[in-house]
Amino acid sequence: MNSELDQEQLQLPYHRRSSRYHHKRMVDLGVKIFSKPKAACSYFILLILTFILGYLSHSQPLLSRASQDIIFHNTFSSDQCAAPVSSANVRQTIIDRVFNGISPWQGFPSEHVRPLLWQEWTKGWGSNAPVFEHLITQVQPKTIIEVGTFLGASATHMAGLTKKMGLDTQIICLDDFRGWPGYYDEEKSMKMLNGDTMLLYQFMQNVVKANATDSIMFLPFSTATALGGMCDWGVYGDLVEIDAAHDFHSAWVDINIAFKLVRPGGVIFGHDYMWEGVRNAVHSFARINGFRVRIDGEHWILY
Ligand SMILES: C[S@@+](CC[C@H](N)C(=O)[O-])C[C@H]1O[C@@H](n2cnc3c(N)ncnc32)[C@H](O)[C@@H]1O
């Protein structure tokens, strides 16, 4: 089958053969391969595999620079929280760190606040739901951390339950006691003092009324800041409840930081599963960390 050109060129060393000869050889090879469907198919598979391997082993990661930045900074306070203080010292640690060693219950209510408070005025959402009794019975917590407390309806309910069960439990309430923008429009029954809606004081009054000051302590800060402080001080909870703001970002941050404060064998749960932001944050967290989500009424539980 070799033409005259082939015969001539074959006499020459490889590098001295003409480009016309090389071109013709390539065309012949192509014709050979594509005239055999099996070989053509293998050639394509090999080509695709080479492309995929090249893509995967490329030195640039698959995530965009922006995604990498977000993941890198997505640390939510220290990598590891401080060594735990004993459950018996949790209350005093907060009194020392937050209130300069003086219990906020001491001398409450002060004279300027007393006339502005309702003897008892409370409000809650699912604050007495069966989930509290279910989880307190299951976990027998020494410390409960509540992220989002408002007027203390769920906190005082939990205090009642733990007392009824004979447990010696501290409930640590985290709230900035600001409610939410526009909140005062809905709650005109509360009086205002120099622009302050008195939420903190009415919460304290409700705890006094429930006879629960010995088992409830609080941190009047934003949830992320308060959780960060507790992480630094080694204050952990056996039961951690998330019920502050319900947009995705707030719920996501609260769940991520609060999870660091769950003692081994403890449980993290929260309210308002029906809110889209909360639901998305819960499921994203569960997926990333290998949990499953159980629903109890309007509450979610990670297990
Ligand atoms: C739904 S209420 C809590 C209700 C309470 N768990 C109950 O059942 O009685 C939400 C509370 O979260 C608080 N909150 C919302 N976002 C917060 C944040 N970023 N830091 C601190 N508190 C916040 C609000 O002030 C409000 O009191």
Per-residue pLDDT of 34-86, as tens digits, reads 567 777 777 788 888 888 877 766 555 667 787 777 767 776 666 789 999 99
**Ligand 1 in reach of 124 Cβ (< 6 A):** yes
User: Is the model's pLDDT at 259 over the cut of 50?
Assistant: yes
Gap between the Cα atoms of 118 and 203, Å rounded: 10
Whether 66 is covered by a domain: the verdict is no
Q: Left (φ > 0), alpha (ψ -120 to 50) or beta: where does 143 sit?
A: beta
Of 273, 281, 268, 277, the closest CA to residue 246 belongs to 277
The pair of structure tokens assigned to 83 is: 């060594």
Residue 198 or residue 158, greater confidence: 158
What range defines the domain where residue 204 resides?
85-302
Residue-wise pLDDT for 80-104, tens only, equals: 899 999 999 999 999 999 999 999 9
Query: Is residue 23 a part of any domain in this protein?
Result: yes
CATH code (residue 142): 3.40.50.150
Other Cβ atoms less than 10 A from the Cβ of 269: the count is: 24
Query: What's the 152 CA to ligand 1 centre distance in angstroms?
Result: 10
Q: Are residues 155 and 253 in the same domain?
A: yes
Would you say the CB of residue 122 lies under 6 angstroms from ligand 1?
no
132 plus 249 within the same structural domain:
yes
Range in 24-28, 138-142, 158-162 the model is least confident about: 24-28
For the chain, how long is the longest CA-to-CA vector? 116
Looking at the CA of residue 124, tell me the nearest atom of ligand 1: 9
Whether 240 maps to a domain, the answer reads yes
- What's the pLDDT score for residue 247? 97
Domain annotation covers residue 205: yes
For the chain, percent of residues with pLDDT exceeding 70:
83
Residue 139 CA to ligand 1 centre (angstroms): 24
The pLDDT of residue 291 is above 50: yes
- The Å distance, Cα 177 to ligand 1 centre, comes to 7
Between residues 6 and 130, the one the model is more confident about: 130
Cβ of 145 closer than 6 Å to ligand 1, yes or no, is no
Q: Is 43 in the pocket of ligand 1 (CB under 6 A)?
A: no
Q: Is 223 in the pocket of ligand 1 (CB under 6 A)?
A: yes
Asked whether residue 43 falls in the same domain as residue 157, the answer is no
Please report whether residue 256 resides in a domain: yes
Query: In the predicted model, is pLDDT for residue 192 greater than 90?
Result: no
Residue 71 lies in a domain: no
On whether both 194 and 109 belong to a single domain, the answer is: yes
The whole model's pTM is what? 0.79
pLDDT band at 126 (very low <50, low <70, confident <90, very high): confident
Residue 1: the pLDDT is 44
Q: Does the residue 61 lie in any domain?
A: no
Dihedral over alpha carbons 77, 231, 273, 206 (to 10 degrees): -130
241 lines ligand 1 (CB under 6 A): no
Cα(226)–Cα(66) distance, integer angstroms: 29
Count Cβ atoms within 10 A of the Cβ of residue 187 and give its class: 0-12 exposed, 13-18 middle, 19 or more buried.
middle
Indicate the length of the chain as a whole number.
Answer: 303
127 and 27 both lie in a single domain: no
- Quote the mean pLDDT of the chain: 88
**120 vs 127, more confident:** 127
Task: Report the Cα 106 to chain-centroid distance in Å.
Answer: 35
Co-location of 286 and 149 in the same domain: yes
Q: Are residues 111 and 181 in the same domain?
A: yes
Distance 241 CA to ligand 1 centre (A): 11
Q: Which atom of ligand 1 is nearest to the CA of 244?
A: 12
Q: Which of 198, 223, 249 to mutate to test the pocket of ligand 1 (most atoms within 8 A of CB)?
A: 223
The whole-angstrom separation of Cα 161 and Cα 159 is: 5
Q: Are residues 44 and 144 in the same domain?
A: no
- pLDDT of amino acid 57: 62
Specify whether the CB–CB gap between 159 and 228 falls below 8 A.
no
Say yes or no: 31 and 97 in one domain: no
Contacts of 222 (CB under 8 A, 6+ apart): 176
35 and 101 assigned to the same domain: no
Total structural domains within the chain? 2
The verdict on the CB of residue 153 being under 6 Å from ligand 1 is: yes
Pseudo-torsion of CA 167, 143, 118, 116, nearest 10°?
Answer: 140
CA 110 vs CA 45, 201, 210: distances in Å:
81, 10, 19
Output the CA torsion sign for 99, 101, 104, 110. Answer: negative
Q: Is residue 201 included in any domain, yes or no?
A: yes
Instruction: Answer whether 148 contacts ligand 1 (Cβ < 6 A).
Output: yes
C-beta 187 within 6 A of ligand 1: no
